[in-house]
Amino acid sequence: MIVIRNARILGGEPRDILIANGLISEIGAGLGGDTVIEADGLIALPGLVDLHTHLREPGREDAETVETGTRAAAMGGYTAVHAMANTSPVADTAGVVEQVWRRGQEAGHCDVHPVGAVTSGLEGKHLAELGAMADSQARVRVFSDDGKCVSDAVLMRRALEYVKAFDGVVAQHAQEPRLTEGAQLNEGEVSGRLGLTGWPAVAEEAIIARDCLLAAHVGSRLHVCHVSTAGSVEIIRWAKSKGWNVTAEVTPHHLLLTDSCAESSPVGPYNPIYKVNPPLRTQDDVTALREALADGTIDCVATDHAPHPVEDKETEWAAAAMGMIGLETALSVVQEAMVETGLLDWASVADRMSVRPARIGRLSGQGLPLEVGAPANITLYDPAVRTPVDPTAMVSRSRNTPYEGLTLPGRVVATLLRGRPTVLDGKLA
C-alpha cells in the first residue's frame, strides 16, 4: 500500500491519499502505508489525458517511439495519450492500431489509445476500416486524418454518419487545402514583413463552420483539433449554443506563443522551431483562445506533441518540418498562460486536461475525480518552482521545443498509473 502524504487535491487543503490494489482506498489525515510519498505543498490532479499525441511509431522511430513518447508523457503528468494515425504505415486498419496499442501496453508508462485514420492512407479518397478498428482490441473511438484535412464534404459526412454506430468521434484537422497551398506562417503583418506565404485564418474557420453544420445535419459528434483563431472560437461557440455535439481542443503553444516569435525570437528571425501546423497566430487570437478555454467553449488542452529529428527542423524555414514537442511542458505552459493569469483554478485545469479529454475519447478509468474507489491515476505537481526549460533534460527522442531558455513555472514530481509510480521525484520510476 502506498500513502501520498499531505497532497492538495485540486489545490485544496492537504490530505493523505491511501492506495491499494491500484485504487484510491481512503482519503483522510494521518494515514499509514508501506510506501510513503511526501507531497507537502504539491497539488494532486487526476492523471492527465492527451487527445492528440504523435508517437511516430511505426515508421519514424528516429523521431519518437511508443516507448520514448510515453516516457515523455509520464514525465509530463499524463496517464493516457491518444496516438495519432499519421504513421508509416498509416493506422488505418485493425492490424496497425492493435500493434500500436500492444506496444503501449508493453512499454507501460501510460495508456496508449490509437486514433484511427478516417481515410485509407490519409489519402482523402475512401473511408478506412472504421468499424474494424472500433471492434479491434484497441477499441478505437477517435478517428482523424490529422496532419491532413478531410476536405471532401461527402467523405466527411459519411465518416460522421459511420462513427455513430459505436459512439465514435471524428477529430478534424481543419485546413482548407487550396487556401493553404505553400502556406508558411499566419497571414498577417508578420508574414508580410518576412515574405513568407500567408496561412489565412479563414482556411481553418471555413472547414470548422462546414463540419459543425455537417455534424448537426447527421446528428453526430465532431471534435475540432488544435483551434488557433479567434474566428474559430466564435463558430464553435455558435455551434454549442445550438446544442450541437461539437467539442474542441487548443494546444499549449497556441495559448502562449504568437507569430511574432518567427520575427523576433532570442536567436533571430526565421527560426523554424516556431513552424507549426496550424501556425502561431496573433496576440488577439491568443487572448480569444485563453478566454474560450476558461469559459468552456474550448473543452480541453491537447499537446499536438510533434517530435522531429534535428535534420528536419534545423534547416531553412520553408523546408523545415512543421510541429513542436509538448508533452513534458504542457502543464507548465497551462499554469503560465491560464493559472498565473487568474483564468483557471486547479479544479478547472483538471477538467480541461483530464476529465474532458477522457470523456471525448470515451475512456473508462481515466479522467475520474480523485475519490475513494477511483483508479489511482494521479499527478503530483509542484506549482511553486520556476525553472528554465532545458531541451537536453527531456526524455522525448526529439528536442524541438519552442520554450528553450524560457523560464516556466511548475514541475511534475510524480505520476501514478493505477497506483504504480511511473515518475517519482521528477524522474522516471
Residues carrying an active site annotation: 304
Contact (CB, 8 A) for 301 and 330: yes
Q: How far apart are CA 55 and CA 305, in angstroms?
A: 8
Contact 173/148 with Cβ under 8 angstroms?
A: yes
Options 22-30, 57-65, 139-147, 418-426: segment touching Zn ion (CB under 5 A): 139-147
Q: Which is nearer to Zn ion, 142 or 370 (CB)?
A: 142
CB atoms within 10 A of CB 385: 13
Contact region with Zn ion (CB under 5 A), list: 104-112, 168-176, 291-299, 416-424: 168-176
Looking at 102-110, 141-149, 375-383, 418-426, which segment touches Zn ion (CB under 5 A)? 141-149
Q: Name the pairing type of β-strands 420-424 and 427-428.
A: antiparallel
Q: Indicate the residue among 109 and 173 with the shorter CB distance to Zn ion.
A: 173
Among 146, 204, 259, 299, binds Zn ion (CB under 5 A): 146
CB closer to Zn ion, 50 vs 146: 146
Beta pairing class for 78-83 and 111-114: parallel
Determine which residue in the list 173, 210, 254, 308 makes contact with Zn ion, applying CB under 5 A: 173
- Closest distance to Zn ion from the beta carbon of 286 (Å): 18
Report, in Å, the least distance between residue 345 CB and Zn ion.
29
Q: Which stretch binds Zn ion (CB under 5 A): 66-74, 106-114, 167-175, 357-365?
A: 167-175
247/299 Cα distance (integer angstroms) = 6
Q: How far is the CB of 270 from Zn ion (least distance, A)?
A: 23
* DSSP labels, 205-235: HHHHHHHHHHHHHHT--EEE-S---HHHHHH
- Count of chain residues binding Zn ion (CB under 5 A): 2
User: Least CB distance from residue 322 to Zn ion, whole Å?
Assistant: 9
Query: Angle of helix 66-75 relative to helix 94-107, nearest 10 degrees?
Result: 50
Minimum CB distance to Zn ion smaller for 66 or for 84: 84
Minimum CB distance to Zn ion smaller for 63 or for 408: 63
CB of residue 284 to Zn ion, shortest distance in Å? 22
Binding status of residue 305 toward Zn ion by CB under 5 A: no
Question: What CA–CA distance (Å, rounded) separates 46 from 208?
Answer: 30
Q: Which residue is nearest to Zn ion (CB)?
A: 173
CA angle 278–344–293, rounded 5-degree value: 30
Please list, in sequence order, all residues whose beta carbon lies within 8 angstroms of the beta carbon of residue 141, skipping any fewer than 6 positions away: 113, 134, 166, 167, 168, 169, 361, 362
Q: Which of residues 367-396 bind Zn ion (CB under 5 A)?
A: none
Binding site for Zn ion (CB under 5 A): 146, 173
